[in-house]
Amino acid sequence: MLLKSLGSKGFRFIMSHTICIVSATRHSKEDFWNNAPLAYSLKKMTNGIDNHVYYQNALGLSEVYNRALEQFKGYYDYLVFVHDDVVIEDLFLDDKLEMGMSQADIIGLAGSKEMDLNAPMLAWHLMSPRESHCGEVAHSKEGKNWTTCFGPTRSPVLCLDGLFLAVNVKKLHEKQVTFDQSFKFHHYDLDFCCSTHKAGLKMAVMPIRVTHFGLGDSMNSKEWKDSGDLFRKKWNNKE
């Protein structure tokens, strides 16, 4: 990031890297822009950040994100993978990504400094002690709004929640890190974090303001269990 003098008006930051927000949605193009929470954010962005949405998507997120990593290699410095049920409310998104990427290769909103791969429930906040949690995320459901403060932000972590993952495209390609397409939706983020850590890349949380509308009971589904079994088979007894 560059710091440009404005004379008596002080200084302002100038973006020195290109950024694109990437999302996959089951909505049609028209329905997405009229109804999806993320679309509300994208319509209001005036800071030069691009976006690319995969409409009427029936593929797993891992496959979509890998396509974006290949499609935009050499074009964007940072890709921000965001679920379509997230509203990005941060006016300083570009500045915070620049600051975060000066110390890490992958930036998220919430995560943990520890991760027990043998935990009974394979969700990042249930795979680590409470004191190792970092970051915060606001939520909205059925007219109720609240913010979950997991712990300190601007902090290095070992794993991140997949609702928002900003990645340094060049670093991922250099280390040959991609998303495992065996994971369609559940656990793709945990698997990606394990791969990232194994490759020696750094992860961190930043205080980026969003509201997530996607709370659900997916941990009770058969798909969650099957995906968890696959994750355990891949990563148990590995560092």
- CA-CA distance, 180 to 216, in Å (whole number)? 24
| C-alpha closest to that of 201 among 158, 238, 235, 236 | 158
- CA-CA distance, 82 to 213, in Å (whole number)? 12
- The pLDDT of residue 16 is 57
- The pLDDT of residue 12 is 41
Distances (CA, A) of 13 to 108, 167, 209: 22, 21, 19
pLDDT string in tens for the chain (239-residue length):
333 333 334 444 444 579 999 999 999 999 999 999 999 999 998 778 999 999 999 999 999 999 999 999 999 999 999 999 999 999 999 999 999 999 999 999 999 999 898 888 888 898 899 999 999 999 998 888 999 999 999 999 999 999 999 999 999 999 999 999 999 989 999 999 999 999 999 999 999 999 999 776 577 788 888 999 999 999 985 54
- Residue 181 amino acid letter: Q
| Burial of residue 222, with CB atoms counted within 10 A of its CB: 0-12 exposed, 13-18 middle, 19 or more buried | exposed
- The pLDDT of residue 8 is 39
Length reported for the chain: 239
- CA-CA distance, 78 to 101, in Å (whole number)? 9
CB 158, CB 67: distance < 8 Å: no
- Residue 159 amino acid letter: C
CB 163, CB 214: distance < 8 Å: yes
- CA-CA distance, 61 to 42, in Å (whole number)? 20
CB 190, CB 128: distance < 8 Å: no
199 token code pair: 């490759």
- The pLDDT of residue 209 is 96
- Topology of the domain covering 2-235: Spore Coat Polysaccharide Biosynthesis Protein SpsA; Chain A (3.90.550)
- Residue 145: Cβ within 10 Å count: 9
Domain boundaries, the chain: 2-235
- The pLDDT of residue 1 is 35
